[in-house]
A and B are shown apart, each in its own frame.
Chain A
Amino acid sequence: MSFEIPIGPQHPALKEPIGVRVTVDGEIIRDADLHLGYNHRGVEKLAEQKNWTQNIYLMERICGICSHSHATCYVQGVEKLMEIEPPKRGLFIRILVSELERVHSHLLWLGVAGHEAGFDSFFMYVWRDREIVMDILETISGNRVHYAINTIGGVRRDLDELQAKHILDSLEVLRQRSEYYQKLGTTEPSFVARLAGVGYLSKEDAIELCAVGPTLRASGVPMDVRKDDPYAVYDEVPFEVCTADTCDVLGRTVVRIKELMQSYNIIEYLLKNLPDGPIAVRAPRRAKPNEVVSRYEAPRGENIHYIKSNGTDKPERLKVRAPTLANYAATIKMLKNGFIADVPLIFAAIDPCICCAERSVAIVEEKTQQERIVTMSSLRELNLKITNYQARKREAEWPL
């Protein structure tokens, strides 16, 4: 007998609203279905109303964990459209922040994985050390989460000697701690027993279902945009693409810890070879009619922005394909034939960033099954119509 269990949208195991409907046979999951859209805010439509510079602010707020990824991906595309080349020092600082972001994101994930596996002290340890990276980011950019360091044509803040020294000193601590986590995460018997064999995704399936990022690399496919299609200054930075061949959650943990080590090396290289010069060039206000696809290796995988300009100071179309969206198909495959107890762990293992992935403007009409694209103005009207019906209850008492 099969039985359906709904998980989410608000569920202790999920940090963000998403619905998973799993069909189970006893304890074993036979099928899984994802319900999306709880976090859809209409970022792509909003972007069409704002000019190129204002959009940087919006792009950062697609996601709080990989905010620099989206901003950089967008800015790179716009720079191509405007045909400007940011100065070398600007690019170095931009990549420095993106590697720091990778470190903070991977540490965050490591902690969450520990938490989902029932290893809460690991979670607390990792998050304590994550504060070191947050401090570095705060000294560089002034913010803990949305760094706002990108601008079209370079970066907004320069780095001085003292900051570089502070970062190098902090890196030493982080390196030692990460080595400890590597030892703990891969040898501690109960932790390994919990992770090994969970959420199996074979190499063939991973390629077929277009998985990206650490999920793909943990299935033994060495694919990384930084190596395959180097952007910014990655072609001159020495680093390795980390893979694992266990194809399970343990492999994904190992890949992320290895990537942490690589990121430390990259940060050290960037700081020691930081060129002199300006950090940004002046950007024009308008871009010629053109279109561009920008790729970026976010902490969770490949991030793609498609930008179309029409000669004005606003984009005509902006499409965001976040890495989590690419990993959804693979997640369903991983969930199948697993245990219910493994759902949070498998889900956490792709490092889901639901707010990144919630993009859609197409509306499917239920009766006719026809898809139609609605315009912004009609949606606005709809919005007004709906909100006008509800009295604003700012001062009033709650009518319950």
Chain B
Amino acid sequence: MLQKLTQWSRLKSPWILHLNTGACNACDIEVVAALTPRFDVERFGILLEGTPRHADVIICTGPATRQMKDRLIRVYEQTPDPKFVMAVGACAMSGCVYRGAYNIIGGIDQLIPVDVYVPGCPIRPDALIEGVVKLLDKIKQGAK
């Protein structure tokens, strides 16, 4: 019973943390645009949180610069279980145009496990919403 309740609440209010690990800002403004009236993801209970300790979903943008590497892992560790990670944009997936640069790890998934990939350079807010819906499906099926 309690499990059902937590599962229900988890599905109805996935709070997100937006973490920029060296992105060019394009994905970031599109993530914020997804929160504003035109797209309005808040109607799905998605709320942008400031601290990792309140978040369920980490939305990662950017190719993971060497400087942000430790911080990314730390933020991941600070987020309480169960936690989900979305790699948003081509950079977070593979490094995009910066791939091969000396300061780039190239892809979030080399540092932390990723649940959903949202492709695009930059992503459209619609794509982000679809990504979140897919993530919710995944949680519903209990696959983690």
Contact residues of A with B, CB < 8 Å?
A: 9-13, 15-17, 37-43, 45-46, 57-58, 61-65, 67, 108, 111, 123-124, 127-128, 130-131, 134, 144-146, 353, 355, 376, 379-380, 382-383, 387, 390, 392-394, 397-398, 400
In residues 43-67 of chain B, which contact A (Cβ within 8 Å)?
50-52, 62-63, 65, 67
Is the CB–CB distance between B68 and A61 below 8 Å? no
B4 on the A face (CB < 8 A)? no
Nearest A-chain residue to B72, judged by Cβ: A10
Q: B16-27 interface mask toward A, CB cutoff 8 Å, 1 = contact, 0 = none?
A: 001111111111
Is the CB–CB distance between A41 and B20 below 8 Å? no
Is the CB–CB distance between B102 and A146 below 8 Å? no
Select A10's contact among B32, B75, B105, B113, beta carbons within 8 Å. B75
Is the CB–CB distance between A42 and B68 below 8 Å? no
Nearest A-chain residue to B31, judged by Cβ: A15
Instruction: Quote the shortest CB–CB distance from B28 to chain A (angstroms).
Output: 6
Residues of B within 8 A of A17 (CB): 20-22, 67-68, 71
Is the CB–CB distance between A63 and B25 below 8 Å? yes
A379 to B22, CA, bound (A): 19
A275 to B20, CA, bound (A): 42
Given contacts A42-B98, A46-B98, A398-B112, contact A16 B104 (CB under 8 A): no
Is the CB–CB distance between A131 and B113 below 8 Å? no
Q: B116-133 interface mask toward A, CB cutoff 8 Å, 1 = contact, 0 = none?
A: 000001101000000000
A260 to B12, CA, bound (A): 39
B36 on the A face (CB < 8 A)? yes
Select B36's contact among A15, A46, A124, beta carbons within 8 Å. A124
A9 to B63, CA, bound (A): 16
Given contacts A41-B103, A144-B30, contact A10 B19 (CB under 8 A): yes
Is the CB–CB distance between A144 and B25 below 8 Å? no
Contact residues of B with A, CB < 8 Å?
A: 18-30, 32-33, 36-38, 50-52, 62-63, 65, 67-68, 71, 75, 77, 96-98, 100-105, 109-110, 112-113, 121-122, 124
Is the CB–CB distance between B22 and A39 below 8 Å? yes
A62 to B96, CA, bound (A): 12
Residues of B within 8 A of A15 (CB): 18, 20, 28, 32
A58 to B95, CA, bound (A): 12
Interface of A is mostly: loop
Nearest B-chain residue to A392, judged by Cβ: B110
Given contacts A128-B38, A398-B113, contact A16 B101 (CB under 8 A): no
11 additional A-B residue pairs with CB within 8 Å, beyond A9-B71, A123-B36, A146-B122:
A12-B50, A17-B68, A41-B22, A41-B104, A42-B102, A46-B100, A63-B24, A127-B32, A127-B38, A146-B121, A382-B102
Residues of A within 8 A of B104 (CB): 41-42
Q: Can you report 14 residue pairs joining A to B where beta carbons are below 8 Å apart?
A: A9-B71, A15-B18, A39-B67, A39-B68, A42-B98, A46-B98, A58-B97, A64-B24, A67-B26, A144-B122, A145-B26, A145-B29, A392-B110, A398-B113
A382 to B67, CA, bound (A): 15
Is the CB–CB distance between A38 and B24 below 8 Å? no
A385 to B30, CA, bound (A): 35
Residues of B within 8 A of A387 (CB): 105
A131 to B37, CA, bound (A): 9
Nearest A-chain residue to B67, judged by Cβ: A38
A34 to B28, CA, bound (A): 22
Residues of A within 8 A of B50 (CB): 11-13
